[in-house]
Amino acid sequence: MIDAVIIDHAFILAGILFCLGLAGVLVRRNLVFVLISLEVMLNAAGLAFIAAGSAWGQPEGQIMFLAVVTLGAAEVAVGLGLTLLLFRRFNSVDIDQLNQLKG
């Protein structure tokens, strides 16, 4: 009986964490913080997959979580490479300096 409420509240927790990460992505100007907030958003999506897999008792939730974690790891590796590139080029990690892609 209590467990049923727990699943619903796990989805709500995933929503809260996703929105916190979204607020971080929108507010921060430092590219490192933007990447950290993106990690939080991916983590919240993984929590939703885990909660759904737990609700139906199927292993597919954890398999999709594995795919999300792999995506997050690849994303953060490439993103941090881009951060280093940005820092070498502009000597700053301000993403507002990336406004010169004007063709």
Q: Which of residues 71-90 bind other proteins (CB under 8 A)?
A: 71-78, 80-85, 87-90
Find residue 94's DSSP bridge partners: 30
- From the CB of 31, what's the least distance to other proteins, in Å? 10
Q: Is 39 in contact with 74 (CB distance < 8 Å)?
A: no
Number of residues near other proteins (by CB under 8 A):
79
Q: Is 45 in contact with 18 (CB distance < 8 Å)?
A: yes
Within 54-73, the residues that bind other proteins by CB under 8 A are 54-63, 65-67, 69-73
Separation of alpha carbons 42 and 69, rounded Å: 8
Within 15-54, the residues that bind other proteins by CB under 8 A are 15-24, 26-30, 32-33, 35-37, 39-40, 43, 46-47, 50-54
Find residue 30's DSSP bridge partners: 94
- From the CB of 12, what's the least distance to other proteins, in Å? 6
The stretches of the chain forming alpha helices (DSSP H) are 2-27, 31-56, 60-90
1 binds other proteins (CB under 8 A): yes
98 binds other proteins (CB under 8 A): no
